[in-house]
Amino acid sequence: MQAYVIRRASFLIPVLLAVSIAVFFALRFMPGDITVILLGPDASPQQVAELRADLGLDQPIPVQYVKWMGNVLQGDLGRSYVLGNKVGAEIMDRAPITLEILALTLFFTAVLGITLGVVSALFRDSPLDYLVRVTSVFGLSVPGWWVGIMILLLPAIWWNYSPPLGYVPLQDNLWENLRQFLPPALTLAAASSAVLMRLTRTVLLDVLRQDYIRTARAKGLRQNVIIVRHAMKNAMIPVITVLGGQMVVLFGGAVIIEQVFSLEGLGRYMFTSIAQRDFPVVQVLALYTAVVVVVLNLLVDISYAWFDPRVRYQ
Amino acid sequence: MRGSTPVFATNENGLELAEPLAEPLPQRLGRSMARLGRLARRQPLGSFGLLVVVFLMVTAIFAPWIAPYNSIAADPSAMRESPSASHFFGTDQMGRDVFSRVVMGARLSVGVSFTVVAISAAISTVLGIVAGYYQRWPDYLLQRMGEFFSAFPPLIFLLLVVSILHPSVKTLVIALTLPVAFAGGSRVIRGASISIKQNQYIEAARAMGASDARIIFLHILPNVMPLTIVGATTGLGAVILALSALGYLGLGVPPPTADWGGDLSGQARTYFRLAPWLAIFPGVAISLTVLAFNLLGDSLRDLLDPRLRGTR
């Protein structure tokens, strides 16, 4: 187990290097010149050359990469081309927004997904089961960002209601904060809880067919005890793993949902930086996301062995 | 498949008659209708999905003849008109008929999603089988490639690729194909190939002197095909969702081409409150399409994968 974790973790570094190199080089082949964006179309060739030298863009790309990576490893994430401020500080400013969305989403995903999945499995083929299943297919099919648009649009038309503009921190005003964060979180959770619900249902039905459940029933255990103590314990293994996988998807989902609800989180930072060709920001954010995702993936794989003693890794 | 018509008719003793009996046409038609009816009863949701998919494909193919107006020509005399008999879904901020744009958008969505899914299903099946069957270095390579792609959240990968290449239909196809072909889909096929390879009938085939090519085409490929088919069907829905998300972010097909996601982005957004139909109809089109593919995919999974029968 320990050897497996170490071996898997040792793969992370080449993967992260590959991601950072791919993003770094690819960005420099992007159409749209940063100097044109910064100086406007009327800049003289001399001004352009000066700015390129200033930003270090006149050097060969591999040299630029090594310099950048060296700085990042020493904790200097660089400055934004467009705003000129420190990327690290900006990330710290915006992280609470994205983290709150993701935390709320994860909470709703787990609660809704698992509860509905269990209910659906226990009352299999009842009208309730069908209702939950049909709802979950809708959750998978309707684009979250469009649901977000409708959530903003319909109350605005019907009751002239709109959530507060501008970020309200949690500690300042809980109610205003939730008015701001519940809609995006619930929107994101709709799709991921549908994934989780379907999985919970399938796995639980599978577990309930196993011999040891029949044994438990034959022993005369109560239904509640069988479900909670025997069936759920095993059924939760793949569910928790998929929950980890959903986190990765949600990371991308945050980009679009922050765009819909005009929340200045990391996702929106990524999106605008790509549009503005703000290389230092995109590089750092891509690497940062990759680190989080790769670690999440590793935790997911390890969790298999952790939750299920039958799984053995060599 | 249960309930298939026997090729040869049998007499009352159950013996096969040498000559196939030609059935009168109406009777045969009636019988296939009955079979369809049975399918509809057993898989009502899947049949609904199939119906919508067929409807969608017909719309996509005949879009220019179905659309009552030119989908890209602005008409300043008819800006932001609400839905009426002449404009079923109203008109947008440039006076273009929303119904015509939704119909033409079907063409783009169907075209892109089928292209992407066809290419990525082919690549992922080949890669998955090769990696799973031969293991060793092809497998190692595929796994590392999978790790590379899985280091990006899906949407962020798409954002980067589409911004780096020029936004165009070709770019979108490339961006949407890569992660499915080299990571997602091929991993599933690889896993299946490994488990199929361990069956005794593979060993028996090899003992009889079958070549790798024969084993792959005769034994492994037919066994992974259900996975490919199910993956492709749900993949169609996923591709349309991703395509529309990119369109909404302004990274889809460049305007003025009709695009469900793109029609919900940019300038149109400022008019949603005044002209809600602009926001509603393209979104409903996306949702209904993805829903149909998902329902169809679920049914196919039930029918093709005996292990999951009745659990979903």
pLDDT of residue B7: 43
Count of A–B CB contacts within 8 Å?
A: 134
Chain B CB contacts of A27 below 8 Å: 164
Could you give the CA distance from residue A123 to residue B96 in angstroms, rounded to a whole number? 49
- State the pLDDT confidence band at B23, using cuts at 50, 70 and 90: low
* Sign of the torsion angle spanned by Cα atoms A58, A59, A65, A68: negative
Residue bearing the bigger pLDDT, A261 or A237: A261
pLDDT of residue B232: 85
- State the pLDDT confidence band at A244, using cuts at 50, 70 and 90: confident
pLDDT of A266-310, one tens digit each? 888 888 888 888 888 888 888 888 888 888 888 877 777 777 666
Amino acid at B100: S
pLDDT of residue B171: 86
A16 vs B: CB within 8 A: yes
User: Please, what's the b/e burial string for B240-277 (b: 16 or more CB within 10 A of its CB; e: otherwise)?
Assistant: bbbbbbbbbbbbbbeeebbbbbbbbbeebeebbeebbb
User: Mean pLDDT, chain B, as a whole number?
Assistant: 79
**Three-class DSSP category at A314:** coil
pLDDT of residue B25: 64
**Whether the bond into B256 is cis, omega within 30 of 0:** yes
pLDDT of residue A111: 92
pLDDT of B189-233, one tens digit each? 888 888 888 888 888 888 888 888 888 888 888 888 888 888 888
* Residue ranges of A 94-113 with Cβ closer than 8 A to chain B: none
- State the pLDDT confidence band at B307, using cuts at 50, 70 and 90: low
Q: Span B59-68, mean pLDDT?
A: 81
pLDDT of residue B303: 80
pLDDT of residue A312: 59
pLDDT of residue B115: 92
Q: Span B289-295, mean pLDDT?
A: 90
pLDDT of residue A116: 92
pLDDT of residue B4: 41
B264 and A140 in contact by Cβ < 8 A? no
Q: Considering CB atoms only, which of B45, B241, B298 is closest to A143?
A: B241
Chain A: give the shortest CA distance to residue B24, in Å.
40
- State the pLDDT confidence band at B291, using cuts at 50, 70 and 90: very high
Percent of chain A with pLDDT over 90: 7
State residue B10 phi and psi, 5-degree precision: -115, 150
Find, among A58, A69, A75, the residue nearest to A19 by Cα.
A69
Is A108 a residue whose pLDDT tops 90? yes
pLDDT of residue B24: 62
pLDDT of residue A310: 67
Chain A: give the shortest CA distance to residue B114, in Å.
17
Percent of chain B with pLDDT over 70: 88
pLDDT of residue B38: 77
A153 and B279 in contact by Cβ < 8 A? yes
Could you give the CA distance from residue A135 to residue A66 in angstroms, rounded to a whole number? 51
Chain B CB contacts of A31 below 8 Å: 166
List, in order, residues 6 or more apart from A300 with CB less than 8 Å away. A241, A244, A245
Chain B: give the shortest CA distance to residue A172, in Å.
31
Distances (CA, A) of B216 to A2, B154, B195, B230, B307: 37, 31, 13, 20, 22
Chain A CB contacts of B82 below 8 Å: none
pLDDT of residue B312: 39
Q: Span B269-275, mean pLDDT?
A: 76
pLDDT of residue B11: 45
Q: Span B103-108, mean pLDDT?
A: 86
Q: Considering CB atoms only, which of B152, B264, B273 is closest to A290?
A: B152
pLDDT of residue B290: 92
Q: Considering CB atoms only, which of B150, B272, B295 is closest to A149?
A: B272
Residue bearing the bigger pLDDT, A255 or A161: A255
The pTM of this model reads 0.82
Q: Considering CB atoms only, which of B147, B308, B311 is closest to A15?
A: B147
Could you give the CA distance from residue B276 to residue A155 in angstroms, rounded to a whole number? 12
pLDDT of residue B5: 42
pLDDT of residue A109: 92
Is B147 a residue whose pLDDT tops 70? yes
User: Which of B52, B156, B240, B244 is the mutation pick for testing A, counting most A CBs within 10 A?
Assistant: B156
Is B15 a residue whose pLDDT tops 50? no
A198 vs B: CB within 8 A: yes
User: Which of A146, A250, A257, A269 is the mutation pick for testing B, counting most B CBs within 10 A?
Assistant: A146
* Residue ranges of A 146-165 with Cβ closer than 8 A to chain B: 146, 149-150, 153-154, 156-157
Chain A: give the shortest CA distance to residue B190, in Å.
18
List, in order, residues 6 or more apart from B87 with CB less than 8 Å away. B69, B78, B81, B97, B98, B99
pLDDT of residue A311: 61
User: Which of B155, B246, B272 is the mutation pick for testing A, counting most A CBs within 10 A?
Assistant: B155
Is B14 a residue whose pLDDT tops 60? no
- State the pLDDT confidence band at B279, using cuts at 50, 70 and 90: confident
Chain A CB contacts of B176 below 8 Å: none
pLDDT of residue B36: 74
Chain B CB contacts of A275 below 8 Å: 163
Chain B: residue whose CA lies nearest to A207: B311
Chain A: residue whose CA lies nearest to B243: A143
pLDDT of A40-84, one tens digit each? 777 777 877 887 777 777 788 888 888 888 888 887 777 887 777
Q: Span B36-44, mean pLDDT?
A: 77
Residue bearing the bigger pLDDT, B13 or B32: B32
Longest dimension (CA), chain A: 87
Q: Considering CB atoms only, which of B148, B157, B245 is closest to A256?
A: B245
CA dihedral A221, A225, A227, A228 (to 10 degrees): -160
User: Mean pLDDT, chain A, as a whole number?
Assistant: 83
ipTM of this predicted structure: 0.82
* Residue ranges of A 249-308 with Cβ closer than 8 A to chain B: 249-253, 255-256, 259, 270-271, 274-275, 282, 286, 289-290, 293-294, 297
pLDDT of A189-213, one tens digit each? 988 999 899 888 888 888 888 888 8
pLDDT of residue A112: 92
